[in-house]
C-alpha cells in the first residue's frame, strides 16, 4: 500500500485472515508479544490522496482491533 498503490480487496482480506490465523496458531508462543502489524509502514506519508490514506488506516486499524 505504498504511495498511490492500493491492492485488490481480496488480497487485503487474504492478508488480514492469514495474520489472524497465525495469531491463533501461535497465541501461546512468548515471541508473539513482539509481533506487529504496521512496522515502519509509511503509506500514510507517501499517498497524495487523503481519502485513500484514510481507507488504508482503517484497514490497518481493523486488523489491529481483531488482534
Which conformational region is residue 9 in: left (phi greater than 0), alpha (psi within -120 to 50 degrees), or beta? alpha
User: Could you tell me if residue 44 is inside a domain?
Assistant: yes
Could you tell me the residue range of the domain that residue 54 belongs to? 9-29+37-66
40 DSSP assignment: S
Q: In total, how many domains does the chain have?
A: 1
What's the CA gap between 52 and 33, in Å, rounded? Answer: 30
Any domain includes 42: yes
52 within a domain of the structure (yes/no): yes
Percent of the chain with pLDDT over 90: 16
Query: Is 2 among the domain residues?
Result: no
In a domain, 4, yes or no: no
Is residue 1 in a domain?
A: no
| Per-position b or e across 21-31, b if 16+ CB within 10 A of its CB | eebeeeeeeee
- In this prediction, residue 29 carries a pLDDT of 86
Whole-model pTM? 0.73
pLDDT digits (tens, 9 = 90+) for 36-54: 666 666 666 778 888 988 8
Amino acid at each position: 500500500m505504498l504511495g498511490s498503490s492500493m491492492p485488490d480487496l481480496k488480497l487485503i482480506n487474504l492478508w488480514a485472515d492469514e495474520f489472524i490465523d497465525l495469531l491463533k496458531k501461535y497465541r501461546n508462543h512468548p515471541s508473539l508479544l513482539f509481533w506487529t502489524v504496521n512496522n515502519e509502514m509509511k503509506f500514510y506519508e507517501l499517498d497524495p490522496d487523503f481519502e485513500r490514506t484514510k481507507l488504508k488506516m482503517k484497514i490497518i486499524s481493523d486488523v489491529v482491533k481483531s488482534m
